[in-house]
């Protein structure tokens, strides 16, 4: 089945409550045996007093009435006046705060979804064309719910204060969620495209991890300015070979580039407007001793197995890792999790690299809320994880789909003593 993946965009990720004592009511010290004392009641209260009697002393208000029955009551004390004015001003301030929109967005823990579960009675991940196996446990993708921003109900100052005081919410400038000039509709459309890309990447990565060959047409979506491909490779070119190696799959290209030293004049053959064309690109440095071409690739996959992922109202690329793990679990005998509730997050590339995401702390809170005991987090998010792990949740950092699969295998076998943990460094 041929399928197209939108070209990647360098835009941010994503990625989906006490009773009080009534004023004036008697408190615990107002009545009962412990409230009595020698000046209130009991035998010690009798004896000669101002009235010359030996009986119990009258209450203070009764004494005032007896001495000056027509005297006016004392006016309010200065303290009472100050307190009353302060109360009115506070109420007015709260009213104003609740009516003024704040230039912030609030990120809260969103819903989690089990990628091994069902949606409306149908499997969330359905595989046709290959043998699938029964599984157990849960693999939960995690989300962040966002309020505020253009096109939606703005948040007010009281909501911002509530989020600031909350341990599981975050307050961020609205521009970080909705870049200036980008409408809510445009952002939602981008998020939907990113979700489609994450599903395609997850399928390619999972099938490749399981040993399948995944043919792909490697279409150039654009060249990075200032690289060796700028002005050499054109939008719409289809990569046919590199360094004499035929490019049948995405991994064919990545293997050639990994073995090519940076700065190499790499010969390429492309189809340009349907015609074979030979070009040469001076490669860039990938940081690991290999090369990069400096182009955006929009691959069109021909999957050997038909994978359908059913999910609505969730956008962004951060579910990719959990989609890939769900596919691997379904196509692998036994339950990878051993019946455990495992949550996680992370983008996924075609070649199985797990990338960082936004809202990691909210996702941790959502996972703990929904019963997860383990959480797979991208290694690059570890600095945000340390010190913010909810009780009962163990976070394991992963950098690739292979590492994530190995982690699940260890969890399923109960062999978790050597699993890594996030550190602040």
| 399 and 419 Cβ atoms separated by less than 8 Å | no
Query: What is the 3-state secondary structure of 19-55?
Result: CCCCCCCCCCCCCCHHHCCCCCCCHHHCCCCCCCCCC
pLDDT band at 82 (very low <50, low <70, confident <90, very high): low
Which of 180-189, 306-315, 379-388 is the least confident region?
A: 180-189
pLDDT band at 125 (very low <50, low <70, confident <90, very high): very high
Summarize pLDDT for 241-295 with one digit per residue, the tens. 999 999 999 999 999 999 999 999 999 999 999 999 999 999 999 999 999 999 9
The domain segmentation of the chain, as residue ranges, is: 105-146+205-210+305-413, 215-302
What pLDDT, on a 0 to 100 scale, did the predictor assign at position 190?
A: 87
CA proximity to 175, closest of 90, 75, 103:
103
The domain defined by 105-146+205-210+305-413 folds into Ribosomal Protein S5; domain 2 (3.30.230)
What pLDDT, on a 0 to 100 scale, did the predictor assign at position 75?
A: 59
Q: Residue range 28-41: average pLDDT?
A: 40
What pLDDT, on a 0 to 100 scale, did the predictor assign at position 22?
A: 36
For residue 112, pLDDT over 70 is answered with yes
Which of 22-26, 165-169, 230-234 is the least confident region?
A: 22-26
pTM for this predicted structure = 0.74
For residue 30, pLDDT over 60 is answered with no
- Is the pLDDT higher at 20 or at 374? 374
pLDDT band at 151 (very low <50, low <70, confident <90, very high): low
What is the dihedral angle through the alpha carbons of 369, 374, 378, 379, rounded to the nearest 10 degrees? 130
For residue 13, pLDDT over 50 is answered with no
Cα(298)–Cα(350) distance, rounded to whole angstroms? 11
For residue 128, pLDDT over 90 is answered with yes
- Is the pLDDT higher at 12 or at 107? 107
Per CATH, 105-146+205-210+305-413 and 215-302 having the same topology is answered: no
Question: What is the CATH code for 215-302?
Answer: 2.30.42.10
For residue 27, pLDDT over 60 is answered with no
């Amino acid at each position: 089945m041929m399928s197209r993946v939108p070209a990647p965009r360098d835009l941010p990720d994503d990625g989906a409550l006490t009773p009080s004592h009534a004023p004036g009511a008697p408190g615990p010290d107002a009545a009962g045996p412990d409230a009595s004392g020698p000046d209130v009641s009991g035998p010690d209260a009798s004896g000669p007093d101002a009235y010359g009697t030996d009986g119990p002393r009258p209450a203070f208000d009764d004494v005032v009435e007896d001495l000056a029955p027509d005297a006016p009551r004392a006016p309010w004390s200065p303290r009472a006046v100050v307190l009353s004015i302060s109360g009115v001003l506070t109420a007015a301030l709260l009213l104003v705060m609740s009516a003024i929109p704040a230039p912030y967005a609030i990120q809260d823990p969103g819903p989690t979804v089990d990628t091994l579960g069902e949606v409306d009675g149908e499997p969330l991940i359905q595989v046709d064309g290959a043998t699938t196996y029964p599984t157990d446990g849960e693999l939960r993708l995690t989300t962040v719910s966002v309020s505020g921003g253009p096109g939606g109900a703005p948040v007010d100052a009281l909501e911002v204060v509530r989020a600031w005081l909350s341990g599981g919410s975050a307050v961020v400038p609205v521009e970080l969620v909705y870049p200036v000039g980008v409408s809510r509709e445009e952002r939602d459309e981008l998020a939907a495209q990113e979700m489609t890309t994450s599903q395609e990447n997850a399928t390619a990565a999972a099938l490749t991890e399981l040993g399948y060959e995944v043919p792909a047409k490697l279409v150039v979506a654009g060249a990075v300015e200032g690289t060796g491909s700028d002005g050499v490779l054109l939008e719409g070119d289809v990569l046919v070979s590199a360094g004499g190696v035929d490019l049948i799959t995405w991994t064919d290209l990545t293997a050639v580039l990994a073995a090519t030293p940076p700065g190499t004049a790499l010969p390429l053959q492309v189809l340009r407007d349907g015609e074979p064309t030979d070009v040469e690109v001076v490669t860039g440095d990938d940081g690991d001793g290999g090369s990069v071409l400096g182009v955006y690739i929009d691959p069109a996959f021909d999957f050997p197995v038909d994978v359908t992922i059913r999910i609505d109202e969730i956008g962004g690329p951060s579910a990719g890792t959990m989609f890939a793990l769900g596919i691997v679990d379904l196509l692998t005998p036994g339950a990878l999790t051993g019946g455990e509730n495992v949550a996680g997050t992370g983008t996924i590339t075609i070649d199985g690299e797990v990338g960082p995401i936004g809202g990691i702390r909210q996702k941790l809170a959502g996972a703990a809320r929904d019963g997860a005991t383990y959480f797979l987090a991208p290694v690059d998010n570890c600095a945000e994880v340390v010190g913010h792990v909810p009780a009962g949740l163990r976070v394991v950092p992963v950098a690739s789909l292979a590492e994530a699969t190995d982690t699940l295998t260890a969890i399923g076998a109960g062999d978790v003593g050597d699993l890594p943990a996030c550190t602040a460094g």
